[in-house]
Amino acid sequence: MFPPRAVSVVLHDVAPATWPACEALLRMIDGCGQVPVTLLVVPDYHHRGTIDTDIGFRRAIEARLQRGDELALHGFHHIDDTAAAPRNPLQWLTRRVYTASEGEFAALNESAATELLARGLACFDALDWPVEGFVAPAWLMSDGTRAALAHSRLKYTSTRTTLYRLPDWRATGHPSLVWSVRAAWRRAASRVVNEVQQRRLSRAPLLRLGLHPADAQHPQAVNYWQRTLRQALRDRQPMTKAAWLAAGA
């Protein structure tokens, strides 16, 4: 069985602290049609309060679930504060500059990754929230994290370039479009890179759109996502990542 040509909208960094920006992006997405969204939920974003303590946030997420959205675990704190220092200049550049020290699972050993995954899943379980997938903050995963995921109950994970079934790490190579909005030059580069990537992926079975709360502050990013989603919906079925995998990918 082959899944339909699909577009998967993924909203990163979903947490009480980011929810106003998330809501703005969700309103834009909802305005494009009936589009189920994969929400990447962070249990304790930047140590600013756990998801179980904010009743308004919980109600909002449960309303999104009723609309057909999917929840996935997105790290635990979404910040790379492990004691393990970068081992070389490239790792320092990746962990400290390119991803602004948010690659929480970039340097964890298997034991530490297993413990943090268990804590995150326990938060979902306490709220009776379904979860099948995990996406590491900044898409960075150490070998220890990969080993921990292979022994977890989770059914899939993804990087920027690839969607993986667990536990066997069977890969489906569908890159995600994403904007970097922290500086003007990053926004300009994002527009060019995404337009090239979008053309390259025009015949791909799955088009992944990776939005972040910070995108909501930049009209050029919001306009790009709105235009791209509307265009994709002309000939693609909107599906969450879990639904697309379940359809036979």
Six-digit token pair at 102?
């948010």
Element (H, E) at 103: none
- pLDDT (0 to 100) of residue 173: 75
Give the other-Cβ count within 10 Å of 89's Cβ: 8
What gap in Å lies between CA 208 and CA 198, rounded to an integer?
10
Choose from 75-89, 187-201, 219-233 the range with maximum mean pLDDT. Answer: 219-233
Local confidence band at 1 (pLDDT 50, 70, 90 cut-offs): low
User: Which 8-state DSSP code applies to residue 97?
Assistant: I
Radius of gyration of the chain (CA): 17
Position 10 pLDDT exceeds 80: yes
Q: For the chain, what is the total number of helices (H) and then of strands (E)?
A: 8, 10
Domain 6-246 has CATH 3.20.20.370: yes
Domain definitions of the chain by residue range: 6-246
The pLDDT score that the predictor gives to residue 81 is 67
Q: Which residue has tokens 């998967």?
A: 8
Torsions phi, psi for 177 (to 5 deg):
-75, 140
Interval 145-179: pLDDT, tens: 999 999 999 999 999 999 999 999 999 878 999 99
Q: What is the pLDDT of residues 111-129, one digit of tens each?
A: 999 999 999 999 999 999 9
Burial label, 240 (beta-carbon count in 10 A; 0-12, 13-18, 19+): buried
pLDDT band at 88 (very low <50, low <70, confident <90, very high): very low
Question: From CA 237, how far away is CA 58, in angstroms rounded?
Answer: 28
CA distances from 246 to 3, 132, 203 (A): 8, 11, 21
Q: Are 11 and 211 in contact (CB under 8 A)?
A: yes
Distance between CA atoms of residues 138 and 140, nearest Å:
5
Q: How far is CA 51 from the centre of its chain?
A: 17
Q: How far apart are CA 26 and CA 213, in angstroms?
A: 10
pLDDT at 83 (0 to 100): 45
* pTM higher than 0.85: yes
Q: 89-97 — which CB contacts under 8 Å span 24+ positions?
A: 94/140, 95/140
Q: What is the pLDDT of residues 194-229, one digit of tens each?
A: 999 999 999 999 999 999 999 999 999 999 999 999
